[in-house]
Chain A
Amino acid sequence: MAATILRRLNPAGAAPPRAAPTLDLARRAVSDSSEPLTVETSLPFKPHLVDPPPRTVSTTPRELLAFFRDMALMRRAEIAADSLYKAKLIRGFCHLYDGQEAVAVGMEAAITRRDAIITAYRDHCLYLARGGDLVAAFAELMGRQDGCSRGKGGSMHFYKKDANFYGGHGIVGAQVPLGCGIAFAQRYRKEGTVTFDLYGDGAANQGQLFEALNMAALWKLPVILVCENNHYGMGTAEWKASKSPAYYKRGDYVPGLKVDGMDVLAVKQACKFAKEHVLENGPIILEMDTYRYHGHSMSDPGSTYRTRDEIAGIRQERDPIERVRKLILTHDLATAQELKDMEKEIRKEVDTAIAKAKESPMPDTSELFKNVYVNDCGLESFGVDRKVVRTVLP
């Protein structure tokens, strides 16, 4: 990949060998400056029991270009996943993140890899944001050996331990209390790290969420509950399932902040603020007002419970990538053509990664029996069919 993301967030970290250099920055007029630049967030933050952070966000030309590139790469990767699914190279259930990129990228920009992130099944781009490798992502999607979960998890189960990405969970709401446990352990270690605990507007109605909120507040855990409100849980609009869709207020005694989740700078600002807040005061809810362009999963065309006009309107007025493109152009940090070239490069990078991922073999058949227990209980495989399979307990 995520070459850019890796470079930006892990400046010391080695770039993956397969990442081709994309842009010759010196030759172009694209700004690589780290001169500070202040930008106002699109909308004011809406607070609950807390003083909101200022709307003016400081950034740099370099950061804005990295935002653009990272989000464009995520967008491209998701669109490619859509094609791979239609070509039946990806099986199982697959949930895409396009539209929501600013949440993953803005959050990552405000924290370090020592902070933890945990999420549900819509996890591809969060993995990429944590420095995940594009080839490993596509290999996982296709159930191949080189996948980030060795081909055993698939779309819904991406993980990256070295970046504290606790990954993708399939049962709606189940990851939220897990995030509290992680945060408890973090506080114990006194390393000043926090957990970003993500869930959807649909998940917000699960009882587990309220159990988690109470524990987090009771024990003052350094956990940020991030409600990615894309306004639908499968085909159900938020207001049809939630008495109060003001998710940032639903923690009652837990402070909250509503953030324009389509504005990467607002997300960054809110996450930075939240991290400081939870280290001092215990949990906070960040409701990210965002949108998914694709249907819920690959079997959902996404157009029966909402209008095409609604989707088109959001694309036109709130798209997170277009917002950054505009900022770059108004501040004259690159030309429109340069950004287009960058997108072309990204497309190539994604295609190359897919080609590589396709070369990765299927997992060994013995993987079916591995990792059930630590010592795998003596489970053995004897082939596809017409063969006995024995279980020997230790």
Chain B
Amino acid sequence: MATKAALRELGRNSRAAAGIGGSRGFAAAAAAAPAGVAERSEGGGGGGGTKAVNLFTAVNQALHIALETDPRSYVFGEDVGFGGVFRCTTGLADRFGRNRVFNTPLCEQGIAGFAIGLAAMGNRAIAEVQFADYIFPAFDQIVNEAAKFRYRSGNEFNCGGLTIRSPYGAVGHGGHYHSQSPEAFFCHVPGLKVVIPRSPHEAKGLLLASIRDPNPVVFFEPKWLYRLSVEDVPEGDYMLPLSQAEVIHQGSDITLVGWGAQLAVLEQACEDAAKDGISCELIDLRTLIPWDKETVEASVSKTGKLLVSHEAPITGGFGAEIAASITERCFQRLEAPVARVCGLDTPFPLVYEPFYMPTKNKILDAIKATVNY
């Protein structure tokens, strides 16, 4: 799609977002302040300063760095040569040439399979699937080929250089096929990593870590936040650790766990709960598999209560896995049933999206009910 087009689309999205959920974007201050200081890679942050940028720019920076620092890295997908529908790949083809940054035909299964082969030759294959809703034609390749390549070949082969990026989640008016959150499907697949950032700073560091991780990674980007979320991001090269959750706020009454765009909603619920004297500990899981059980366990051991929230439908969502694991680990410490505030068990609706969504008030109610259990 055309660049201007994407901008307009996003412009609309951000207006819609502001209209619906209040400010859905992760406030720069809230996100930046407590964020665990970036782990700098060898280059030590690349020596640059920091600059306030939005999420798609942070992704774009990460891709620039990935291509710059490793000549064996490639970026491809539908329309990425023009910058992609969300502008994440802007400028890459001009800078690194059409041999390393290129458009593919419209064929997700082919894109994924091609990427696996490219990665198996020791390259970093960074493939884009235009919307997470369109990842399902590639599902077989990801689940059956990518995830099991190393295992079934007894470590003869692998596609560890594979990273599949895809925008996920609601945008206010995306309807059935531009809104879904399919992360749980991939969390059921040993051999894959699933990573979801909540903000620009996180996106850049986690994406670089995903690209350089020696395992295939599915990296879902919260498209609602592409333009909406702005925060200070180091201009240089840095990575954030995978499989390490981050405690964003310390709290004593209840632990809230989420990822991606949902963190902004949880953050608002935290603030409102604080007005009622409830102290929430907020955790961004960041990597869904393999996930950081210890951080969540330590928090729940302290608070005795847990709430998990995600946009995907509640049944079989990754929240269920967290609830089960923490119940096993913290059974003695839990003072209330684990609460899940998630998308409804319906297809993502065209009308009444706010009904479907795990909104701030739904979360707030669940916080109160859990704390007062």
Interface of A toward B, CB cutoff 8 Å: 91-93, 143, 151-154, 156-157, 170-174, 202-203, 205-208, 233-236, 240-242, 295-296, 299-305, 362-363, 365, 367-369, 372, 377, 379, 381, 384-389, 391
CA–CA, A346 and B327, complex, Å = 65
Contact B105 A205 (CB under 8 A): yes
- B351 / chain A contacts, CB cutoff of 8 Å: 143, 151-152, 362-363, 367-368
Contact B352 A170 (CB under 8 A): no
- B331 / chain A contacts, CB cutoff of 8 Å: none
CA–CA, A295 and B1, complex, Å = 9
Contact A300 B5 (CB under 8 A): yes
CA–CA, A295 and B5, complex, Å = 9
Contact A386 B361 (CB under 8 A): yes
Residue from B3, B176, B356, B364 in contact with A157 in the complex, judged by beta carbons closer than 8 Å: B176
Contact B9 A299 (CB under 8 A): yes
> Closest CB of chain B to A77's CB: distance in Å?
20
Interface positions of B from 123 to 137, Cβ below 8 Å from A: 133-134, 136-137
Contact B12 A305 (CB under 8 A): no
Contact A92 B173 (CB under 8 A): yes
Contact A207 B109 (CB under 8 A): yes
B73 within 8 A of A: no
B64 within 8 A of A: no
- B4 / chain A contacts, CB cutoff of 8 Å: 301, 304
- A389 / chain B contacts, CB cutoff of 8 Å: 344
Chain B 170-192 near chain A by CB (<8 Å), digits 1 or 0: 00011111100000000000000
Contact A365 B352 (CB under 8 A): yes
- A303 / chain B contacts, CB cutoff of 8 Å: 2
- B362 / chain A contacts, CB cutoff of 8 Å: 385-387
Residue from B106, B173, B346, B355 in contact with A202 in the complex, judged by beta carbons closer than 8 Å: B106
Q: A91-B173, A205-B105, A234-B1 are in contact. Are A386 and B346 (CB under 8 A)?
A: no
Contact A304 B176 (CB under 8 A): no
> Closest CB of chain B to A365's CB: distance in Å?
6
Residue from B5, B137, B346, B359 in contact with A304 in the complex, judged by beta carbons closer than 8 Å: B5
Listed by A's residue number, 27 A-B pairs whose Cβ atoms lie within 8 Å are A91-B173, A91-B175, A92-B350, A170-B133, A170-B177, A171-B134, A171-B137, A173-B106, A207-B109, A207-B110, A236-B78, A241-B104, A241-B105, A296-B1, A299-B1, A304-B3, A367-B351, A368-B344, A368-B346, A368-B351, A368-B356, A369-B344, A369-B346, A372-B347, A387-B362, A391-B314, A391-B315
Residue from A143, A203, A234 in contact with B350 in the complex, judged by beta carbons closer than 8 Å: A143
- A234 / chain B contacts, CB cutoff of 8 Å: 1, 78-79, 85
CA–CA, A207 and B137, complex, Å = 9
Residue from A93, A203, A379 in contact with B345 in the complex, judged by beta carbons closer than 8 Å: A379
Contact A385 B354 (CB under 8 A): yes
Residue from A172, A241, A305, A386 in contact with B2 in the complex, judged by beta carbons closer than 8 Å: A305
Given A173-B137, A299-B12, A385-B359, list of 19 further CB < 8 A pairs? A92-B173, A92-B178, A92-B350, A154-B175, A156-B176, A170-B176, A174-B137, A205-B105, A235-B79, A241-B103, A296-B1, A300-B2, A362-B351, A368-B346, A368-B356, A379-B346, A386-B362, A386-B365, A387-B362
Residue from A302, A368, A387 in contact with B352 in the complex, judged by beta carbons closer than 8 Å: A368
Contact B5 A299 (CB under 8 A): yes
Interface positions of B from 48 to 101, Cβ below 8 Å from A: 78-79, 82, 85
Total residues of chain B contacting the partner, CB 8 A: 48
Interface of B toward A, CB cutoff 8 Å: 1-6, 8-9, 12, 78-79, 82, 85, 103-107, 109-110, 133-134, 136-137, 173-178, 314-315, 344-347, 349-352, 354-356, 359, 361-362, 364-365
CA–CA, A68 and B63, complex, Å = 51
Contact A156 B365 (CB under 8 A): no
Shortest Cβ distance from A200 into B: residue: B106
- A369 / chain B contacts, CB cutoff of 8 Å: 344, 346
Contact A372 B345 (CB under 8 A): yes
Residue from B79, B350, B359 in contact with A153 in the complex, judged by beta carbons closer than 8 Å: B350
> Closest CB of chain B to A314's CB: distance in Å?
18
Contact B105 A235 (CB under 8 A): no
- A205 / chain B contacts, CB cutoff of 8 Å: 105-107
Across the A-B interface, the 8 shortest Cβ-Cβ residue pairs: A299-B9, A304-B2, A170-B177, A92-B175, A205-B105, A300-B5, A91-B173, A241-B105
- A305 / chain B contacts, CB cutoff of 8 Å: 2, 82
Shortest Cβ distance from A201 into B: residue: B106
Contact A92 B174 (CB under 8 A): yes
Shortest Cβ distance from A92 into B: residue: B175
> Closest CB of chain A to B344's CB: distance in Å?
6
CA–CA, A236 and B354, complex, Å = 34
- A377 / chain B contacts, CB cutoff of 8 Å: 345
- A242 / chain B contacts, CB cutoff of 8 Å: 105
> Closest CB of chain B to A39's CB: distance in Å?
36
CA–CA, A125 and B334, complex, Å = 58
CA–CA, A93 and B130, complex, Å = 15
Q: A152-B351, A154-B350 are in contact. Are A171 and B1 (CB under 8 A)?
A: no
Contact B355 A365 (CB under 8 A): yes
Shortest Cβ distance from B85 into A: residue: A234
- A153 / chain B contacts, CB cutoff of 8 Å: 176, 350
Shortest Cβ distance from A234 into B: residue: B1
- A372 / chain B contacts, CB cutoff of 8 Å: 345-347
Most-contacted residue by chain A among B5, B78, B110, B345 (CB, 10 A): B5
- A143 / chain B contacts, CB cutoff of 8 Å: 350-351
CA–CA, A157 and B350, complex, Å = 11
Contact A152 B79 (CB under 8 A): no
- B350 / chain A contacts, CB cutoff of 8 Å: 91-92, 143, 151-154
> Closest CB of chain A to B227's CB: distance in Å?
13
- A295 / chain B contacts, CB cutoff of 8 Å: 2, 5
- B82 / chain A contacts, CB cutoff of 8 Å: 235, 305
Contact B106 A203 (CB under 8 A): yes
